[in-house]
């Protein structure tokens, strides 16, 4: 079946640095990718919808200048957490929407970010 990869799977960084997380659809093209985050013991929350070739659509309360999303190609979307703070520590998951009659969605395995 279709595969979505995320890189890195885990990252530890110092406060104030920027971290880039990549989401790739490995064997299909995805015009739309979604980014979610999950705080400990909570459900996943949609951060933004990433559309290839256009600006991402951010959910209310998500700072677009802090969480930069770039969907430069049909197989790659990146999420950059800028000037990371400890409260940004979370689990970030992407999903990619494959075309076809059912608009199948495939999930990346997630990236665990720890900001010290």
CB 84 within 8 A of CB 15: yes
The reply to whether 82 sits near another protein by the rule CB under 8 A is no
Q: Using the rule CB under 8 A, which residue among 38, 70, 82, 89 binds another protein?
A: 38
Under the binding rule (CB under 8 A), the answer on residue 109 touching another protein is yes
Residue 102 near another protein by CB under 8 A: yes
Tally Cβ neighbours within 10 Å of residue 72.
Answer: 10
Considering the rule CB under 8 A, would residue 35 count as an interface residue with another protein? Answer: no
Q: Which is nearer to another protein, 70 or 105 (CB)?
A: 105
Candidate list 14, 87, 100, 103; residue touching another protein; CB under 8 A: 103
Q: Contact between 62 and another protein (CB under 8 A)?
A: no
What is the rounded distance in angstroms from the CA atom of residue 10 to the CA atom of residue 115?
11
Give whole-number Cα distances, 112 to 49, 53, 87, 90, in Å: 20, 27, 13, 6
62, 35, 30, 69 alpha-carbon torsion, rounded to 10°: 50
Q: How far apart are CA 42 and CA 30, in angstroms?
A: 27
Select the residue interacting with another protein from 14, 43, 87, 100 (CB under 8 A): 43
Contact between 106 and another protein by CB under 8 A: the answer reads yes
Which parts of this chain interact with another protein (CB under 8 A)? 9, 32, 34, 36, 38, 43-46, 49, 91, 93, 95, 97, 102-110, 112
């Amino acid at each position: 079946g279709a595969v979505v990869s995320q890189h890195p799977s885990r990252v530890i960084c110092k406060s104030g640095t920027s971290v880039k997380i990549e989401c790739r659809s490995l064997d299909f093209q995805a015009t739309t990718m979604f980014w979610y985050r999950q705080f400990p013991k909570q459900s996943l929350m949609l951060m933004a919808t990433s559309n290839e070739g256009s600006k991402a659509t951010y959910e209310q309360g998500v700072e677009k200048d802090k969480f930069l999303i770039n969907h430069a190609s049909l197989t790659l979307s990146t999420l950059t957490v800028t000037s990371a703070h400890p409260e940004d520590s979370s689990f970030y998951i992407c999903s990619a929407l494959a075309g076809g009659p059912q608009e199948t969605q495939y999930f990346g395995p997630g990236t665990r970010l720890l900001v010290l």
